[in-house]
Amino acid sequence: MASTTGKYMATFLLGLAVSTSSLAAEPVTPKLTDKLSRLLQEEMRSVQTAMGTIHSGMVMGQHEAVATNAQKIHDSFILQQKLTDQDRKDLMSAVPKGFIKLDKEFHKLAASLAEAGKNQNTAEQREIFDKMTGNCIQCHSQYVSDRFPGVNTLGK
């Protein structure tokens, strides 16, 4: 009896370990050059500030604030800003395609959010804001698990 329970527990724990590890890809952070890391952290902090301002603007119907801050996020696209050819090469060799894809998707959503701000469409702003938050969580849980081990996609 005890050994059956033990076997069952072992299988359960193994399953848990496998499913948890498949959620988080290898973190990209240790592979970034100092410069890329610095630029990315700068970008992330301005994204964070802009998201806060957008949230307030959205719930108070300040569409102009939503539009300008979403546009700011879109324009901060690290892949199009401040990168020399060498930085670009460094970035491509440090991060997997999935990371680039997520970053592109995120910045594309920011452009849509700016549009929804201009159109004064609160429902659409909310929907896009939510999708963008999903992108933060997905990228951090998959690629920044070393810095943000607490972010998970359980219950997704």
The reply on whether position 54 binds ligand HEC by CB under 6 A is: no
Q: Which stretch binds ligand HEC (CB under 6 A): 6-14, 16-24, 83-91, 137-145?
A: 137-145
> Which member of 106, 113, 117, 145 binds ligand HEC (CB under 6 A)?
106
Q: Which stretch binds ligand HEC (CB under 6 A): 12-20, 43-51, 86-94, 116-124?
A: 43-51
Question: CB atoms < 10 A from the CB of 9, how many?
Answer: 10
The reply on whether position 147 binds ligand HEC by CB under 6 A is: yes
Query: Each residue of 99-112: b (16+ CB within 10 Å) or e?
Result: beebbeebbebbbb
Question: What amino acid is encoded at 10 in this protein?
Answer: A
Question: What amino acid is encoded at 79 in this protein?
Answer: L
> Which member of 99, 112, 151, 152 binds ligand HEC (CB under 6 A)?
99
The reply on whether position 110 binds ligand HEC by CB under 6 A is: no
Burial of 94 (0-12, 13-18, 19+ CB in 10 A): middle
Where are the alpha helices (H) located in the chain, listed in sequence order?
A: 2-23, 34-60, 63-75, 85-94, 97-118, 122-143
- Comparison of 28 and 116: residue with beta carbon closer to ligand HEC: 28
Binding site for ligand HEC (CB under 6 A): 28-29, 32, 37, 40-41, 44-45, 47-48, 51, 99, 102-103, 106, 132, 135-136, 139-140, 143-144, 147
